[in-house]
Amino acid sequence: MSPDLQDATRGRLLFGGDYNPEQWPPPVWAEDVRLMREAGVNLVTVGVFAWAALQPAPDRFTFGWLDTVLGLLHDGGIGVALATPTASPPPWLGHRHPDTLPQWPDGGRRTYGARNHYCPCAPAYRRAALDISTAVAARYGDHPALRIWHIGNEYGTACHCKHCAHRFRGWLRARYGDLDGLNAAWGTAVWSQHYGAWTEVLPPGRAQYIGNPAQELDYQRFVSDMLLECFVAERDVVRAHSPTVPVTTNFMDWYRTIDAWRFAAHEDFVSLDTYPDPNDPAAAMLGAMSKDVVRSLGGGRPWLLMEQSPGAASWRPVATPKRPGLNRLWSMQAVARGADGVLHFQWRASRQGAERAHGAMVPHAGPDSRVFREICALGRELAGLVDVPGTTVPAGVAIILDWDAWRAVELEHQPHAGFRYVDRLTEYYAPLWRDNVTCDFARAEGPLGGYRLVLVPSLYQLTAAAAANLTAYVAAGGTLVMGPFSGVADPDERIFTGGWPGLGLLELFGVRVEEHWPLPDDAPLAVASAELGDFTAAGWAEWTEACGADVVAQVRGGPLDGRAMVLRHRLGAGTAWYVATLPEPDALHRLLARVCADAGVRPVLPGLPPGVEAVRRGDRVFLLHHDDGRVEIRPVTPSASAAAIPAVP
Ligand code: GAL
Ligand code: ZN
């Protein structure tokens, strides 16, 4: 049995942050440990950017300082998530091996002097990364402070160099067998692109005009796979030295470059870095969505909030700090949505370097500060939630999340350049969040039987397995809602013919889409519906032909007059809804509320005041108040213990 997060939590929620002692002289380390204890910190992430400090030259390792730091932490009772420091190679690597520096599609190279400057395919990078990982793992693999292995950091660098071209050819060979297969999949009959030899095949570069979409799509898949190879290679190194320590890497929210489903399958548990914008009125909802995504990536098991800012995120153009109470509120949102630990970037604010203006648990002002006092209070509070670690979050709804559909729908020269996959998912998530209906995210080809309702806001690219899975789900009595521009192309970016959605979904939904009808945002569509109330829609519509489904809403006026925009098709005990447009938010809310009611999906608690989020986890119901002012909530379910987390304590 491989280890998991519970081997690290040992029954207590984890609390702490990124700790970069290499930026500080030794006297500060002792003070750090004292303050960590004061704050209730029990885990710090160490070594993420310490490659140069640990290996200042190719043949010189300097572990003494880290020995001391880990010793101090252990003596202080503080656990360590130890990183393989491979996200930021030292200058000597790029200087000696310029081919480890990543290349842009136009051929220019990135330089060292920042971070993440590595080509995942460069043999010299791979070798050096494994060398330093092996050295770290060999030295600390059985250190008593070690609780978690943190591999790399936020995988996501794409490169277009000759090493990548070489590996890309091998990747394509494995996928398509031979050049005939490649030519067929890429549709190279278009524009005289036929390849006659493997050496002619290149990563997509800066071309004269529109590139080949299938080539671009494959390159995106390839880049994700190469980064995954880097992760797996380092994971195997640390596992060999400490088989009982769980391994993770930190995801960023909504990052298209790596297919997080594929990564998650190779991790012992998943973790998330998330930085909602305190100035964004939608931040609470967006934060909840990211947290539901990461829980789902980990199969519903507890996950780790690896990074959030205790204050400002300095990379924002306007880096407003979190107002008093907000870090507590968002931390509790993470715990409510399945996190078994709340960590921050970073422990002590850097005085120098790119992130000198970033928030920290110990800000520049020092421990005598609002921020540190709030951190201490949060540490105490989390320590009290002893019944929470290891528990799970029930959800009756799944939203389909698919990296290939995301990549493909955002390729160049789709019918609408502004069609954004994550916007589509957010539009469906937001009303459910407002109604306190808990959602998971799921794969189109994965098990869906446990959900009363499955939402597919956008699934432009469709595989035969996904089509069969969705069909079987409805046939077994499930309720399915699919959004527009779905079921359009196969995994090679080849358009289905004969009407959409393809691969038999046309029969499932009882509708045939003949034409896609993207619209400018300032030309709203009037839609009439006796059932839902009339509404407007914008940005997208379709020329639909109902063939078996009931028409729930249809266009009034204009060239699409009379075309069905919302259709419902009952099949045995199941129901399949098709929504051919982008309804205004209130209308989508009404539609989804209706669908939830029909499908027997209930909110965690009904009738809560606006701005109050309710999430059930284990035996608790967490109530999170995101608006200003006070709200009063009458005791609801006598069985559930409620923890009310106001925005302002
Ligand atoms: C993350 C990263 C951290 C730090 C943080 C700042 O992307 O992993 O090292 O840079 O952002 O917000
Ligand atoms: Zn490369």
- Let me know: does 13 contact 335? Beta carbons within 8 Å: yes
Q: Is the pLDDT of residue 648 over 70?
A: no
Q: Which two tokens stand for residue 197?
A: 């030899």
Per-residue pLDDT, averaged over 600-606, amounts to 96
Instruction: Report the residue among 258, 307, 320 best suited for mutation to probe ligand 1: largest number of ligand atoms under 8 A from its CB.
Output: 307
**H-type alpha helices, 562-617:** 585-599
- pLDDT tens-digit profile of 162-171? 999 999 999 9
Helix (H) or strand (E) holding 405: helix 403-409
Rounded to whole angstroms, the maximal C-alpha distance in the chain is 76
pLDDT of residue 548: 97
Asked whether the predicted pLDDT for residue 646 surpasses 60, the reply is no
Out of 273, 274, 358, give the residue to mutate to test ligand 1, the one with the largest number of ligand atoms within 8 Å of its CB: 273
The answer to whether the beta carbons of residues 263 and 163 sit under 8 Å apart is no
Confidence check: pLDDT of 645 > 50: no
Per-residue pLDDT at 640 exceeds 70: no
The predicted-structure confidence for 313-350, as pLDDT tens digits, reads as follows 999 999 999 999 999 999 999 999 999 999 999 999 99
In whole angstroms, give the CA distance from residue 14 to residue 16: 7
CA dihedral 533, 441, 8, 19 (to 10 degrees): -80
Cα(159) to centroid(ligand 2), Å: 4
* Cα 89 from Cα 115, distance rounded (Å): 7
Q: Cα(345) to centroid of ligand 1, in Å?
A: 7
Q: Are 505 and 471 in contact (CB under 8 A)?
A: yes
Q: Which of 307, 374, 427, 613 is catalytic?
A: 307
Alpha-carbon dihedral sign for residues 231, 233, 234, 238: positive
Say whether pTM exceeds 0.85: yes
- In angstroms and rounded to an integer, the radius of gyration of the C-alpha atoms of the chain is 26
Strands (DSSP E) contained in 182-252 are: 247-248, 250-252
Tracing tokens 């939630």 back to the chain, one arrives at 385
Q: Where are the beta strands (DSSP E) in 380-466?
A: 397-400, 439-442, 453-456
**pLDDT band, very low/low/confident/very high, at 1 (cuts 50, 70, 90):** confident
Ligand 2 centroid vs 460 CA: distance in angstroms?
A: 29
Q: Nearest 5°: CA angle at 345, between 67 and 380?
A: 90
pLDDT tens digits, one per residue of 422-462: 999 999 999 999 999 999 999 999 999 999 999 999 999 99
Q: How does residue 634 score in pLDDT terms, banded at 50, 70 and 90?
A: confident
CB of 275 shorter than 6 A to ligand 1: yes
Determine whether 355 is an active site residue: no
Q: What angle do CA 5, 43, 142 make, to 5 degrees?
A: 70
Any ligand 1 atom below 6 A from CB of 45:
no
Atom of ligand 1 nearest to the CA of 275: 12
154 carries an active-site annotation: yes
pLDDT over 70 at 647, yes or no: no
Cβ count near 113 (within 10 Å):
9
**Average pLDDT for the chain:** 96
Question: Given ligand 1 and candidates 45, 154, 274, which is best to mutate, with the most ligand atoms within 8 Å of its CB?
Answer: 154
Amino acid identity, position 58: P
Closest ligand to Cα 347: 1
- DSSP assignment, residue 57? B
pLDDT of the residue at 620: 96
Specify the residue for token string 């075309």: 563
Q: State the pLDDT confidence band at 643, using cuts at 50, 70 and 90.
A: very low
CA of 308 to the centre of ligand 1 (A): 9
Mean pLDDT score, 519-525: 94
Q: Is the peptide bond before 501 cis (omega within 30 degrees of 0)?
A: yes
Q: Confirm or reject: Cβ of 347 under 6 Å from ligand 1.
A: no
Predicted confidence (pLDDT) at residue 371 exceeds the cutoff of 70: yes
**Closest atom, ligand 1, to C-alpha of 154:** 8
CA 274 to ligand 1 centroid distance, Å? 9
